[in-house]
Structure 1
Amino acid sequence: MLPHTIGEIDPPQRLLMGPGPVNAHPRVLRAMAADLLGQFDPEMTSYMNEVMALYRPVFGTGNRWTFLVDGTARAGIEASLVSMVAPGDRVLVLNFGRFGLLLTEILARIGAVVETVDAPWGEVVPMDAVAAAIERFQPKVVATVHGDTSTTMAQPLDGLGDLCRAAGALSYVDATATIGGMEIAADRWGVDVVTGGLQKCLGGPSGSSPITISDRAADAIFARRHVEEGIRRDDITDGTGIRIGSNYFDLAMIMDYWSEKRLNHHTEATTMLYGARECARVALGEGLAPRYARHGAASQAMMAGIRAMGLTVFGDERYKMTNVTGIYIPDGVDGEAVRRRMREDFEIEIGSAFGPLQGKIWRIGAMGYNAMKHKILITLGALESVLRAEGYACPPGAAVDAALAAWNKASIT
């Protein structure tokens, strides 16, 4: 294809009911169409201050250091770990899925000494096992995912901060998949750094990572910076000659950019900031408690519909994320053929799986702008039709009826 024959982008209008990304809220898309501003324009810096204020309640915190890292959710993850951990530091990772393994990979690249405390996929790590591992390993940092979409499980975090602080350790939580859909309680949990993303429960596009940092963690991050005669050197060290491994992801430098100093670090991603700002406005305008209840109702409706088709929900339901449901692929059914028919016949995307669950489960998300009654009913009706076409017998209409009853029972209008 010659360049001059490439047409205007016109993507299909798919209903994204996988584990993320999901369809963005129209208000977010409209906000992102606003005019650009210079990064030090007073209007622009006022928007930056508004973003910090908007995301504090979303994170459940009063942290002064609450802002955005430009890049996908992984940018926030990597910035946190690169800025908190030096080569040779001990880091304990709670590992119960694909994204716990991601934390260990990033930490290995930093040169950390990593130990994991593991749970089988479909379960979570008991807090007494975490306490025992902290006592034994004496880590500098404890890192975990809150909700791991690969397994659809949400790790309980009450008490984690107390364990870490008692051991003199910092704590990091990746809340990419849960922020805006399940409660994030950074202050109550007592955790030091939490990062998120827009593309799941917050109903925005991928490309910006909200972050909150406790004063305790901020002190540790700033302590790694070396300043000579007011000019930051390229060989930033922590005072022992250990170089911070990234310029772009150096949180101390990014925090100076988001402070009253406005020290230039990079050109702020203006359009993404507009989108992130509107994501938080939508969430707070709905009310966080009603928003979490809506995601909970969506989860109950989805599970009721799945079971009415004779399918089995994956994992320990006590710890299930409200926004993603794992479903065992029934014997004799081609899981990828079902996904293809859902996409081609109904313009609906559902997810496959990773690692030991690959080919064994589907993952259906109902989050953000898609955690809505009609979208769940449409998805279940389409899945029932596709399953029958693939030779799986299920009661006609039972899934939609069961899901609707479950939604109504939750009193969500």
Structure 2
Amino acid sequence: MTTLASPLAALRADFPGLAGTWHYLDTAATAQKPQAVIDAASNAMGRDYATVHRGVYARSANMTVAFEAARRKVARFIGAAEGEIVFTRGATEAINLVAQTWGLANLKAGDRILLSTLEHHSNIVPWQLLRARTGVEIDVCPLTPDGRIDLDIAARMLTREHKLVALAHVSNVLGSTLDVKRAADLAHGVGAKILIDGCQAVPRLAVDVAALDCDFYVFSAHKLYGPTGIGALWARAEILDAMPPWQGGGAMIDRVTFAETTFAPPPARFEAGTPAIVEAIALGAAVDYVSAIGLDTIHAHETALVAQCRDALRAMNSVTLFGPEDSAGIVSFALEGVHPHDLGTILDEEGVAIRAGHHCAQPLMDHLGVPATARASFGIYNDEDDVAALVRGIERTKRIFS
């Protein structure tokens, strides 16, 4: 195996969860957290803790400043305006929010939604729930032979009946990357809005929602080296302004009487209740950490690891690789005669952590003709030693099952 220069190798020391010789190759599921994020969460929960937006005392005011600073960081990170960022519990909640607010207000029987074969369940089920309530129809765009959303076919499928296109920026199984700008042009060409699931994109690709020309963009913090329990919805300001509230309670109101309630403008309108204060501040720290390294550097690092991994696995006749050669940070594969769960268990004995299963993408598994795949996914803390450990573990598994 060729030696890969790892310019980010020293960063592994920033991640206390990677102490020792553990080879963590499950970053697409959730990323390990750098000490800077852990410290930000610890300080926000302890030394600095107070509520936000309500208290007139100094610590509450300071916490409010820190909370809203996190929103600004997220906005800058994806090229958005601060008032267009809604904090949610994650990408799943963000998509559900869009479905149950914008969707209910704008879609009706006879309208159509276009998804793709490779979507995560979180970008399928909310639209099916909406279909049950409104009668909208769902169409599914197929994939190219190498596992990309086939935008040539999408162009032929789209009609004026389509009101929404909802697609993944990067597949969580195949690592294939969508040409978002072209997809947006196609959607807008028939008068549809477009929502992009950016969970696997924001940790490794520079995202500028204005340049992409999408209408909604969602992602989760925990895949961006941040905490669980928080994510973000971006939508164009004029769309957010027209969307009705989703949940009722504190913080999202203008004035409440028993006769009627008026609602706050976005983003507060969509953030009912005491927010995830600690998590938001830790997300801001994660954005700072990733931004300091540089997404171009991260993408180049992961691209080199993916190439090395795919080359090593391709050399094994018993391994089937899925997805394109230039998959973004993710390598899915199958080992002949071995269920991915068995492979994952044996790899764990070797100190290698991968994901094995359907990856919340069962329609894609049906398309691939397999019940599950094994998935190795890379982060900024991985290097060629992790690839070598994966290969050794697969070789041991082959011997066990031979």
Q: Residue in 1 aligned with 2:9?
A: none
Evaluate the alpha carbon distance shift between residue 137 and residue 44 of structure 1 in structure 2; reply closer, same or farther with a 3 A threshold. Answer: same
Q: 2:285 aligned with 1:278, yes or no?
A: yes
Evaluate the alpha carbon distance shift between residue 216 and residue 161 of structure 1 in structure 2; reply closer, same or farther with a 3 A threshold. Answer: farther
Q: Which moved more, 1:296-305 or 1:352-361?
A: 352-361
> Which among 308, 321, 327 is matched to residue 321 of structure 1?
327
Q: 2:390 aligned with 1:379, yes or no?
A: yes
Secondary structure of the structure 1 residue equivalent to 2:179: coil
Paired amino acid for 2:241: D
Secondary structure of the structure 2 residue equivalent to 1:351: strand
**In 1, distance between residues paired with 2:296 and 2:322?**
25
Evaluate the alpha carbon distance shift between residue 151 and residue 184 of structure 1 in structure 2; reply closer, same or farther with a 3 A threshold. Answer: same
> Which among 62, 82, 89 is matched to residue 71 of structure 1?
89
Q: 2:62 aligned with 1:43, yes or no?
A: yes
**In 1, distance between residues paired with 2:310 and 2:177?**
16
Structure 1: runs of 5+ lacking an equivalent: 1-9, 238-249, 259-263, 392-413
Provide TM-score, normalisation by structure 1: 0.74
Evaluate the alpha carbon distance shift between residue 372 and residue 256 of structure 1 in structure 2; reply closer, same or farther with a 3 A threshold. Answer: same
**In 2, distance between residues paired with 1:340 and 1:161?**
41
**In 2, distance between residues paired with 1:57 and 1:29?**
22
Q: Which moved more, 1:337-346 or 1:347-356?
A: 347-356
- Contact 1:338–1:387, Cα closer than 8 Å, also in 2: no
How far off is 1:150 after superposition? 3.5
1:141-185 Cα distance to aligned partner (Å, 9 max, x none): 222222222344332212232333343322211111221212323
Q: 2:290 aligned with 1:268, yes or no?
A: no
Evaluate the alpha carbon distance shift between residue 30 and residue 304 of structure 1 in structure 2; reply closer, same or farther with a 3 A threshold. Answer: farther
Paired amino acid for 2:377: G
Structure 2: runs of 5+ lacking an equivalent: 1-16, 54-59
Paired amino acid for 2:398: L
Evaluate the alpha carbon distance shift between residue 203 and residue 305 of structure 1 in structure 2; reply closer, same or farther with a 3 A threshold. Answer: farther
**In 2, distance between residues paired with 1:17 and 1:231?**
50
Q: 2:357 aligned with 1:352, yes or no?
A: yes
Q: Residue in 2 aligned with 1:143?
A: 166
Q: 2:134 aligned with 1:128, yes or no?
A: no
Q: Which moved more, 1:353-362 or 1:18-27?
A: 353-362
How far off is 1:373 after superposition? 3.8
Paired amino acid for 2:108: G
| Count of residue pairs brought into register by the alignment | 358
- Contact 1:224–1:236, Cα closer than 8 Å, also in 2: no
**In 2, distance between residues paired with 1:78 and 1:231?**
26
Q: After superposition, where does 1:14-413 map in structure 2 within 5 Å?
A: 15-18=23-26, 19-34=28-43, 35=46, 36-40=49-53, 41-59=60-78, 61-86=79-104, 88=108, 90-99=111-120, 100-111=123-134, 113-120=136-143, 123-134=147-158, 136-200=159-223, 202-221=224-243, 230-231=255-256, 255-256=267-268, 265-310=272-317, 312=319, 314-317=321-324, 321-330=327-336, 332-346=337-351, 348-353=353-358, 354=362, 355-356=365-366, 357=368, 358-359=370-371, 361-367=373-379, 369-391=380-402
How far off is 1:383 after superposition? 3.1
How far off is 1:277 after superposition? 1.0
Evaluate the alpha carbon distance shift between residue 234 and residue 29 of structure 1 in structure 2; reply closer, same or farther with a 3 A threshold. Answer: farther
Provide TM-score, normalisation by structure 2: 0.76
Percent of residue pairs identical: 13
Paired amino acid for 2:310: M
**In 1, distance between residues paired with 2:245 and 2:86?**
21
- Contact 1:85–1:110, Cα closer than 8 Å, also in 2: no
